[in-house]
Structure formats: C-alpha cells, structure tokens
Chains A and B, each alone.
Chain A
Amino acid sequence: MALPRTPSQTVGPYLALGITGEDGPEVVPDGTPGSIWIRGRVLDGNGVPVPDGLIETWQADENGRFAHPEARARGETSFRGFGRCPTDPGGHFGIRTVKPGAVPAPVGGPQAPHIDVAVFARGILTRLVTRIYFADEVEANDADPVLRSLPDAMRRRTLLAIRAGDGYAWDIHLQGPDETVFFDV
C-alpha cells in the first residue's frame, strides 16, 4: 500500500527568493568546446511574456551519459546536466550547455538528442514538463519514438529548437494556437 504523495502548489510570484547558489543557467563553463546557448521566452495565451517564471533543464552529456547511479552502466560522467534560469521582465531565459548525445528509449529507440524541461511560474499550480529537440537533427528526430508518438504531427515543431546566434532559439507557449507540447511524465 503506497503512502499518499504530497501535492504540488504554485511557486508564486516570489520564486526568485528560493534560487541561490551555484546551480544556475550555466550547465557548462564559459569556453567549453561545443557549448551552445539555448535562448527563448516563456509566453502566455495572449502572447504576453511571463516575467515570473523559472525553467529547469536536465540532460545527458555529449555521449548520452548521466551523472546518476541509475545510468552507471553507460559509463561515469562528471557532467552536471542540470540548469535553471528564472525569466527576466521580458520573459527571456537562457541556458548554456552542450547538445546531448542519443539516449535509449524504454521501447524502440534510440531517442534523438533531447533535453527535459520543467516550467514553473505564478499561475502554474503543478509544474509543466516538456522537451527540447534540435531541428537540425532531422534523421534522428524522424526516428524518435516520442516525436513519432505525438497525436498531432503539426505540434511537433513546438519542441524543435532552431539554430540561431550563439546556439539555438526555442520559445515556450503556455497556451494559444502555438501551445507547446507538454508531457505527463
């Protein structure tokens, strides 16, 4: 008999207070070979920027390894894998990282390079989960079991980060005609 779980609540408007320390938007140090900035905005259903949000990212290293005992069989890595960035008054966020390697899928696979993303904000009672894929990984994306499982192929593009500037551009639309695909994880 499982214990009943503690429910989620919103981070509220003052979440920046909780974010201190070294675990910020720089997943890899400046100057890391192959490093990219993934930049974007969080937008609400009216297209208005969300200035009081937070995104968190989790991903494998360039060889598809995770710094976690569950993935030890794939080899050790010291790659931090975790990034987080509060949104600014314009709704912008940015994460400096490297493009992850392929990771096996529970069924089918391998999966295309991807980054798990959690979105928190005032007005969001339970965190939203989505993924970043990379638009320039055409073949891998076409074979990816998660992208292939989407019931509406048109919405797939909401998960694709586009080459831009010093890395990739990828916006999150919480609602509206371009609503991002969110996952039940």
Chain B
Amino acid sequence: MADRPLGEYRRDSHVDPPNDFPAYHGSQYRAPRLPPILLPQSLTELTGPLLGPGRVEPGDADLTAGGRGAPIGERVIVHGRVVDSDGRAVRDSLIEIWQANAAGRYAHQVDDHDAPLDPNFRGIGRVVTGADGRYRFLTIKPGAYPWRNHRNAWRPAHIHFSIFGDAFPQRLVTQMYFPGDPLFGQDPIFNSVPDPRGRERLVSTLDLEAAIPEYSLAFRFDIVLRGREATPFEREDHD
C-alpha cells in the first residue's frame, strides 16, 4: 500500500445522521442518550476484515436470475465506483445489497405489507469491487412501500447497500435512492442526513451510457468511504 505511514481515518461523523432523530420513531428507544467517547484509532481500528475475492459467485450480482422465470418489474443496472475520500479506489471489497421487489414487498418473514411476493425475486445480491473500485448489479427497480412511522408514510424506492472497505472505520451501511422521487420530502430516514448535499449523494443518477438498448436502464451510484489523514499521530509514551 502506501510507502509512508498514514494517520487516522478522517473523522467526519458530521456527515452521518444523528441517531437521536425524533421524526424517525424507530429511534426513540434505540438511540443512545449519552455522547460517544472519542476512541483513538489503534491497530484494531486501522485494520478490519478484508472480505473480497472468493466470497461471491459470478451470478450473485444478477438479482434477476436464479428463479424459474423472469421477475416482474423494470430491469435496471446499478453500478458505480467505490473510492475513499482521497479518491483512492477501494478494490477487492465485498458489497452486499438487499431490497424489496417491484411491488414494494421484501422476501422476508417479518414483512406483512399487503403486496404480492414474486417467486422469482429474492432481492439479495453480492459483488466484489474490481481493481478500479467498480461494481455492477443487474436487478429490478424496487417499489415504494408503506410503513407506520406517520400517517401515509411511504418509503421512497431504495436499495440497501453494505460495504466493508479496507478497515473498521470505513465500514458503511447505507441506502441508494432513485432520482426525482416524490416521496423524499416526507421520508424521515432520507431526511435524517443533516446536509442536503449529503442527501443528494444517496440519490443515484440515470446513466444512459451504461444502459442496454431495448433491455435495461442504468443508474449510477458512486460511494465514498472515509479517507486517511496524511500524517500519523505522534507515538509518545505517557503514564
């Protein structure tokens, strides 16, 4: 990797939603009330699980395959690049996605939304980033679905993303949205991101260059993980 030692992973937690966010009722009894304690990054934090090649089969990135027939809905390619905040490609890193089907129903026993399951769609995918940090899935555009957070609460269509990166501080679980969704304004989860520009970074962009004519549209979703400070912290003794 780098020739010179690098410092801590950049502390930029202001980018993330605060856990104490009352508009999201699920957080009421689950958000800690006390402020987090600053943890200096030691070797335990400058390392992390390297889950990469060997963990996926080629078909794992095609969520439209594996059933007895084609799933119902609009086929979409979702692709992009994973880099750190210094622009370095995050290579050989596992991405996991999960999502609802085109009708807005998850293939999960807890989901009791009155919308049809699709026997040909499980809604789970895995891929490992390439040497340039790129990844690509083929899937079905998920539907919006109602939840009970407030009257007529509906989640905008989204795909859950889990990314491991190169070390413990880079680990990220997030959600990707689709451009121009009219449900953004009433969704507390989307709006929990404090900076409007941060919210925009969760919205994919239509990418006709990557679309397949007469077959599938494409959306691009680039992901930026934490980068590292240029200089290592001073190692000194104290009692």
- Interface segment, one of B18-26, B67-75, B178-186, B209-217: B18-26
The count of chain A contact residues (Cβ–Cβ below 8 Å) is 78
**Is B97 located at the chain interface by the 8 A CB criterion?**
yes
Measured between beta carbons, the chain A residues less than 8 angstroms from B106 are: 14, 17
A10 within 8 A of B: yes
In the complex, how many residues of chain B place their beta carbon closer than 8 angstroms to a beta carbon of chain A? 87
Q: Report yes or no: A6 in contact with B237, Cβ–Cβ below 8 A.
A: no
Name the distance in Å between A160's Cβ and chain B's nearest Cβ.
Answer: 15
Contacts of B9 in A (CB 8 A): 185
Distance (whole angstroms) from the CB of B88 to the closest CB of chain A: 10
Contact with B along A107-149 (1 / 0, CB 8 A): 1110100101010111111111101000000000000011001
Additional A-B contact list (6), CB under 8 Å, known A48-B29, A185-B169: A7-B199, A14-B98, A56-B171, A58-B48, A69-B1, A111-B42
Chain A residues with a Cβ under 8 A of chain B: 2-23, 44-46, 48, 50, 52, 56, 58-60, 66-71, 74, 80-82, 103-109, 111, 114, 116, 118, 120-129, 131, 145-146, 149-151, 174-175, 179-185
Which chain B residues have a beta carbon within 8 Å of chain A's beta carbons? 1, 9-13, 15-19, 21, 24, 26-34, 36-51, 55, 83-87, 96-98, 106-108, 110-111, 122-124, 126, 160, 162, 167-169, 171-175, 189-190, 192-193, 197-199, 201-202, 223-227, 233-239
Return 18 A-B CB contacts under 8 Å, by A number.
A6-B202, A7-B198, A8-B16, A12-B175, A19-B96, A45-B29, A66-B47, A82-B51, A116-B44, A123-B26, A123-B31, A125-B21, A126-B13, A146-B39, A174-B32, A175-B29, A182-B36, A184-B39
